[in-house]
């Protein structure tokens, strides 16, 4: 299976800054086989960057989109409009769940809309600190996974990527803590088991599972060697070009 290194730029970089970053990254990176490097700029930058990017080296992801293809939805951008421009879309990120109040039902519709428009959804799931403290992690993960995939058929499961991002480990959290590789492994196993129980072994074995939450060049290697982890989803460290490149190099070494 490929290894995915995904940078989520969140609400950072102007279009100009995003373009300069991409230019430098394209110049630095060779053409990796078995390594998928993906960046998720703001929606505004996607169109110009899609003309600039060399998709053999780097792919683009949307950070979000709306679940209807067209219609009276002021302010929204659809997966249909992004079709052909991006290869991936981050869906159900905790910042959208908790700041913008997206629920599993809406997230499921977005996952379906992405697949319908030939865009690979990166479905983010993860528990908040109090849910972990109360021993609810398993239930939250199962609910978000099954809920987010509720409109995905057995045949479509191979078109989905799951990202486990414990909300308490995301660098923007007030008192972000690092997840230990053991904690990550435990939840990744649960994700794989839930997929297997729901979709069967064959359909679920090729679903990539990524980890995200304060990943940087010092801990990327440890997370990438957790069994069942197929890549990383990064926020803060993806904004620093040198660090992002270092992490890509680490991934290449560790997964070789």
Q: Which two tokens stand for residue 185?
A: 């492994």
Residue that the structure tokens 């969140």 belong to: 10
Tell me the sheet residues that pair with 95: none
User: 215, 220, 226, 250: which one contacts ligand 13P (CB under 6 A)?
Assistant: 215
What is the number of the residue whose Cβ is closest to ligand 13P?
A: 235
Q: How far is the C-alpha of 49 from the C-alpha of 87, rounded, in Å?
A: 13
- CB burial of 209-232 (b: ≥16 within 10 Å; e: otherwise) equals bbbbbbbbbebbeebbebebbbbb
Per-residue binding letters, 154-183, with ligand 13P (x by CB under 6 A): -----------x----xx------------
Catalytic residue among 93, 102, 127, 243, which? Answer: 93
56 carries an active-site annotation:
no
165 carries an active-site annotation:
yes
Q: Does residue 8 bind ligand 13P (CB under 6 A)?
A: yes
Q: Does residue 234 bind ligand 13P (CB under 6 A)?
A: yes
Q: How far is the C-alpha of 94 from the C-alpha of 92, rounded, in Å?
A: 6
Q: Does residue 231 bind ligand 13P (CB under 6 A)?
A: no
Q: What is the DSSP code (8-state) at residue 83?
A: B
Q: Nearest 5°: CA angle at 97, between 94 and 102?
A: 150
- Closer residue to ligand 13P in complex, CB, 67/223: 223
Site for ligand 13P in 82-121 (CB under 6 A): 93
Q: How far is the C-alpha of 192 from the C-alpha of 187, rounded, in Å?
A: 9
Q: Does residue 213 bind ligand 13P (CB under 6 A)?
A: yes
Q: Which of 256, 249, 220 is nearest to 37 (CA)?
A: 249
Q: How far is the CB of 122 from ligand 13P (least distance, A)?
A: 9
User: 53, 233, 248, 251: which one contacts ligand 13P (CB under 6 A)?
Assistant: 233
Catalytic residues: 93, 165
Site residues (vs ligand 13P, CB under 6 A): 8, 93, 165, 170-171, 212-215, 233-237
């Amino acid at each position: 299976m490929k290894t995915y290194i995904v940078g989520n730029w969140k609400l950072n970089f102007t279009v100009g800054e995003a373009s300069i970053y991409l230019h430098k990254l394209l110049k630095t990176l060779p053409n990796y086989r078995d390594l998928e490097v993906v960046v998720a700029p703001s929606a505004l930058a996607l169109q110009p960057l899609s003309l600039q990017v060399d998709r053999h080296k780097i792919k683009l992801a949307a950070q979000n989109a709306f679940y209807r293809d067209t219609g009276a939805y002021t302010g929204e951008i659809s997966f249909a409009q992004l079709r052909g421009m991006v290869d991936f879309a981050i869906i159900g990120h905790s910042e959208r769940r908790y700041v913008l109040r997206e629920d599993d039902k809406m997230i499921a519709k977005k996952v379906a809309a992405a697949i319908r428009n030939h865009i690979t959804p990166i479905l983010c799931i993860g528990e908040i600190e109090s849910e972990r403290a109360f021993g609810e992690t398993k239930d939250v993960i199962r609910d978000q996974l099954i809920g987010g995939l509720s409109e995905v058929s057995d045949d479509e499961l191979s078109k989905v990527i799951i990202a486990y991002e414990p909300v308490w480990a995301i660098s923007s959290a007030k008192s972000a803590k690092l997840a230990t590789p053991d904690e990550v492994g435990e939840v990744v196993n649960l994700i794989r088991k839930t997929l297997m129980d729901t979709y069967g072994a064959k359909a679920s074995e090729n679903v990539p599972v990524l980890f995200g939450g304060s990943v940087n060049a010092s801990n990327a290697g440890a997370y990438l060697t957790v069994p069942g982890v197929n890549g990383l989803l990064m926020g803060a460290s993806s904004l620093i070009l040198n660090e992002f490149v270092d992490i890509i190099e680490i991934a290449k070494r560790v997964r070789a």
